[in-house]
Structure 1
Amino acid sequence: MKSSLTEVTMSSELGKMVINGCITKIGKASTGAPCGTDGKLAVFTAESIKKCADTFVGMPLNCTYPDGWFADGTDLFTNHGDMNIGYIRSVEAKDDNLMAEIVVWKDKFPEEAFMIVNGAEALGFSVEWYATQTHEDEENVYMDEFQGAGCAILWKNCAAFSDTFIETLAASRDKKNRSDNSMNEQEKKEIIDSIMAGLDEKLKGYEEKIGEIKASVEKVKGDVDESVKASIEEVKADMEKAKDEFKASVAVPQPKTQEPAKNPFEGGEEKSKEEKIAEINASNMSLADKLHEITKIRYGK
């Protein structure tokens, strides 16, 4: 157990930010009903804290945080989350508070660390535990023994114990050490400068990823354009072919020119009048036609 606690400070080793604060109350009912109490308020007895508080040591610190620096933020620090951003390094019972020293991996989670520093006055904690022995009355469930499983950092009004706090807010309870209840500007500047270095590196990584995505999109766009052009050319060729086939199928056949039959008595070698008359007499012409043709031959008409 630690004999004393300091305000939110930076650790130079391994890019850590160390937070000291109250993670739950001792001997005091929660302000809201935690999960698993069937609507009743939870109370950690002084005896259970003495026996079991150390089970929180080494357990994770989690939070809810939107994915990405420019995300919506409506779920920011509103519940227990699946993003583990640090761990509980030590705990200590102090008055009616279970205080904890919590490490946040600020270099790995610079966005979350930045928000914690700037929202410290409004933030608190909600512990996670498994009850192994309890007793209860009409309103409360008393934790006689438990196994700590971690804690979440979240807005105070979202926690079952809404009077938990980061110790910078608790400083006003100890006027000998501080005359206000917030970090001074120098402390805040040092923390933010350290965090911003990690943010710059993370943003650089975002920019590189965006560049890769743009290049990939441009390549895909080029491939699509070429594919579309080729498809258009194919469609044009198919349309021209179909057009020609259609024209051929609906073309009106042109009538063939009929050459007049030759007169059997014209052309050829010159025949004598007698030969021509003999041929006329031997033909199938009617008698009137025969007389007409013979008359033409005899009189040269």
Structure 2
Amino acid sequence: MDLTHTYQQYTKTTPQKIPHKPDAFEIEARRVDRQIINLTEKLRSARKSYLRQDGRGMSDADKDDIDFTVRQVLKQLVVRVRHIEEAAKQTTAGVRSWRKNKAAIEAKRKHRYGITMYLNARLEALSHFQATLQEARLQEQLERERNVTENLKTEIIDTRPVPNHQDLDTSFAESYSYTYSDPTDMDGLSAQMMTELKEENDQMSKIFEQTIEQTRKVAKSLQDIGDMHNELSQHLHRQRETVDFLMTNASTIEEDMSAAGKELRRARDRDRKTVRSIYVMTAIFSTVLITLHIVIP
């Protein structure tokens, strides 16, 4: 048996499937989706190091860079998705015989709306994930600020003068009486000690100011990503309402078309009955005429 010949004959008779060729809308949507996936994967891989607090995680500069980059990329992706949404609204633009292709065009429009809703949902999830990371970072930064404040208070307390114990006498009160010197009295300190205290104070003040500034920066970054997440959530909610309306409207149209089809079939049945009645009446009338013609010469 010649299997090659059989295979060739079979392939000739079997209809070939035409591969789907994506249009510009689908190509751009796939590109945006791929970028969202890549950014999400990078954030998930960096999450452990981002949240690590034992000193072996990311530096504040690295975290700032990640926060800034994610916000910028998210803004760019949001703009591209909005352009895709505008393209979805223009589905019927330039289409001839719109009435004849109404069902196909409506199906295509719903499909495109579904794609844009999917992309917005991915963006909303990505912004939420980034917001949770930055919220955890802010909590860490606030804890660091509290620790710096407590350390600063401890340093101030430790710099107070030690009590002056006098020589022991017969009275316990007299022997253990002591007095504190005025903390602002620096006359008894040497120039070297004054310099060291000033340098230490300047260093502590600098660390405290840097910590507060870093906390403000993290809080501002969290507010930005939080606002973006809220906007995406609201937009996604409105889009879902639009898609639900389209689906409900499509169901109503299908019901109306079904009812119209039933009425049309009923009208056709009535027409058939009318035609049949006419044929019967014509036949009877013809028979009567023929009979009369035979009976009456």
TM-score (norm 2): 0.31
Tell me which protein shows more helix as a share of its residues: 2
For the pair shown, which has the larger CA radius of gyration, 1 or 2? 1
TM-score (norm 1): 0.30
